Copies of this chain bind each other. A is one copy, B any other.
Amino acid sequence: MTDRQIEILEASVKLAAKNGVRAMTIKNIASEIGLTEAALYRHFQSKREILLGIIQLFSLSSQNDFKAISMKNPSALSELKKLILRRIEQFEHFPEIAYIMLSLDIFMQDEELRVSAAESIHKHKEFILSLILKGQEKNEIRSDSEPKELFRIVLGSFRLLLTQWFLNKYQFSLKDEFESLWKTLETVLKNNSL
């Protein structure tokens, strides 16, 4: 991807995050980065390509985080935390991208977009689930609950935190609030039967 393309994708995300998907028009995107509408078509063949690009951008940065996570670390929990913290770093760097993770709408326009987004979501889910499973195997994470439910608790609470951050217009420190949330998550997930 060229710099211009990334510039366009970021401008698009910002617009959507600020005023909703409907504000993400070719006209708005173009004027956001000081170009003509026609000029955008030098960089993307169509608006759908831009949407696809956004998923790609998000998906890539997401998968990039996975690489830093080692399945060999004895503590699955600390790897899980590390994973989320890496995500948070990205969000603090470019807050509007949180919207991509939270919006139900942005990719509801056609089936190809839906599928493309679903894939990314699925990979993410599988990755977290595998961490939880490993934690349970090692008796670090409680085994009296189903992994999928623990997954719902971890990702769900994090997503709600993100939603609150978004609705508060990124005014509080996402990292600090997450540290607070994590304390509870850790307490709650840990295997206390030992």
Interface positions of A (Cβ within 8 A of B) = 19-23, 99, 102-106, 108-109, 118, 121, 142, 144-146, 149-150, 152-153, 155-161, 163, 166-167, 180-181, 183-185, 187-189, 192
What is the distance, in angstroms, from A159's C-beta to the closest C-beta of chain B? Answer: 6
CB neighbours (8 Å) of A167 from chain B are: 118, 121
A-B interface, 5 closest residue pairs, ranked by CB to CB distance from nearest:
A20-B108, A156-B160, A156-B156, A156-B157, A149-B184
Give chain A's interface secondary structure class. Answer: helix
Of listed A108, A146, A189, residue having the most chain B CB within 10 A: A108
The 8 Å CB contact of A159, one of B99, B156, B180, is: B156
